[in-house]
Amino acid sequence: MMKLYNRFKKNIKYFSLVLGVSLVSCSDDYLDVGAYGTPVLSNFYQTETDAEQGLIAAYSPLREMYGTENFLASTSNDLLFGDIGTDDILKGGARSNDGPQLFDKEIFNMTTSNTAIEAVWKVCYKGILYANLVLDKVPDIEFTDADYQKQILAEARFLRAYYYFDLVNSFGGVPLVDKPLETGEYVVPRSTQEEIYTFIEDDLKVAIEDLPSRFDQGTAYLGHADKGAALGMMMRVSLYQNKMGQVKTYGDQLLAMPYVLQDYSTLFNNVGEWNSGSVFEINFSSNANKLGTLMPRMMTPRSIGGIGFGQIKQELIDAYEPNDPRLEASFYQLADGGYGTTWYNRKYAWAPYSDYEIPTTGGFGNSANNVRVLRLADVYLMYAEAVYSTDPTTAIEYVNKVRKRARESGGSTVGIPADLPTTLTGDDLRDAIYKERRLELAGEGFRYHDLIRTGRAEAVLGSSGFVTNKYEIMPIPLSQVLLSQGVLTQNNY
């Protein structure tokens, strides 16, 4: 299966640099060069190829948040930093102070100088810059195929929405930058959370309208955002705002597409990449340096070459019914002797705990595992949550699709988990959906956000130090407040 970053590996590094702030320009005459630090944007974005390569750069921060070139960023995503401190995930590592930026999250002692939050801020705004450049420059390029031009612009819209969604969930209202900034425009005050969400939705609406479905494209398209990814992201954005009618509206469109659930035991293996139940993934490859993901090394026990972060708490293990096939498909147990539990996340693992081989190129941190961003089961459960109070029969139907697939995983015949009773309604049905999300999506970076958006965080995490009206969002990085000369107001920290 051809991967996006494998296809363009010759261009990724170069065009991540081309779109930087200070670069050297060049021409056919090697003596005819601009002054050091002169931007080359005036010489770029002239052709369709330029537009394609600019779009590749806009995808690059997706990879950076989980990849090999930015170790700090790869500890700062929702798979690790996001869910550490919940009832599902323990920091782990060699000892309690191994990865202090993660330990601060675990004990709810966040500060404005935490390096993880700064990484999230910088990587997301880098992605926004690159997407803004595409959206600003590509409309002026003459294309032989106008639909292809619209597709590139729509992918940039999706990416900008993706980065802003990460920011708004991390920090609340943030500076809204919708174009490349000129000198003297760099200090931008915070917009409100509502304004950021509106901006995200507007971008996703364009993406939904103009993107093709991956089912109508060849395998070379896999890794690009498509219509299904935009619909699924709009469902998630709506869910986090409690816009349940909107979740249903966009869910109806996505569910009309030819997605099909696949065997749970295969989903996080190489053979499960871009299966018919996959809505969006971030592609990685281990056949060249710097194209892999650090996540398996982060989560693998130290005794077998990993770092041992993101360990699984016993509370999550105990939440599964005995013989639920998802337990074995999601986690494995290995005594390690470090700080934490003995349970590890199989969803981002090497052989023998998955069919991904230990990388032999670029070091242990250069793994080929794709990061699964949106899955069909998540779509089903979002949809069920949106309609449970108005149409409990349909809500139960979609939860039971997830449970049926779970109990048949790996050819299991034990009949667990059984279908939800058709008589469930009200809070009992809602709570069953909440629990199903926890079990189905465990270790995928959703638990913290789910607890916050449903108002359960203090009840579940209060004994661990969670404080309402504080830890729902993170502090604005102190470095950014200082750079803004105080224009950026701080959160409750």
pLDDT tens, the chain, 493 aa long: 334 434 443 333 333 333 333 323 333 333 333 444 444 677 899 999 999 999 999 999 999 999 999 999 999 999 999 999 999 999 999 888 899 999 999 999 999 999 999 999 999 999 999 999 999 999 999 999 999 999 999 999 999 999 999 999 999 999 999 999 998 899 999 999 999 999 999 999 999 999 999 999 999 999 999 999 999 999 999 999 999 999 999 999 999 999 999 999 999 999 999 999 999 999 999 988 889 999 999 999 999 999 999 999 999 999 999 999 999 999 999 987 667 899 999 999 999 999 999 999 999 899 999 999 999 999 999 999 999 999 999 999 999 999 999 999 999 999 999 999 999 999 999 999 999 999 999 999 999 999 999 999 999 999 999 999 999 999 999 999 999 999 999 999 9
Q: How many other CB atoms are found less than 10 A from the CB of residue 417?
A: 22
* Coil vs helix vs strand at 374: strand
How far apart are the two ends of the chain, measured CA to CA in Å?
46
Count of residues for the chain? 493
The predicted structure's pLDDT at residue 339: 78
Task: Give the orientation angle of helix 227-240 with respect to helix 146-171, to 10 degrees.
Answer: 30
CATH code at 177?
1.25.40.390
Is residue 23 assigned to a domain? Answer: no
* Coil vs helix vs strand at 161: helix
- C-alpha–C-alpha distance, residues 488 and 493, integer Å: 13
Is residue 40 assigned to a domain? Answer: no
67, β-bridge pairs: 293
- C-alpha–C-alpha distance, residues 449 and 442, integer Å: 12
Is residue 403 assigned to a domain? Answer: yes
Q: What angle do CA 374, 130, 8 make, to 5 degrees?
A: 70
The predicted structure's pLDDT at residue 23: 28
Which residue is listed with tokens 């981002």?
Answer: 348
- C-alpha–C-alpha distance, residues 474 and 111, integer Å: 9
**Strand residues in 98-194 grouped as ranges (E):** none
Is residue 471 assigned to a domain? Answer: no
The predicted structure's pLDDT at residue 179: 96
The residue segments making up the domain with residue 428 are 47-463
> Which of 458, 440, 413, 452 is CA-nearest to residue 168?
452
Q: What angle do CA 179, 197, 141 make, to 5 degrees?
A: 30
Is residue 343 assigned to a domain? Answer: yes
Model-level pTM?
Answer: 0.92
Query: Are the C-beta atoms of 418 and 403 separated by less than 8 Å?
Result: yes
- C-alpha–C-alpha distance, residues 127 and 120, integer Å: 11
- C-alpha–C-alpha distance, residues 69 and 63, integer Å: 9
The predicted structure's pLDDT at residue 4: 41
Is residue 469 assigned to a domain? Answer: no
Q: How many domains does the chain have?
A: 1
- C-alpha–C-alpha distance, residues 33 and 13, integer Å: 21
Is residue 9 assigned to a domain? Answer: no
Specify the pairing of strand 331-333 against strand 343-345.
Answer: antiparallel
Query: Are the C-beta atoms of 214 and 168 separated by less than 8 Å?
Result: no
Is residue 478 assigned to a domain? Answer: no
The predicted structure's pLDDT at residue 43: 86
Query: Are the C-beta atoms of 438 and 417 separated by less than 8 Å?
Result: no
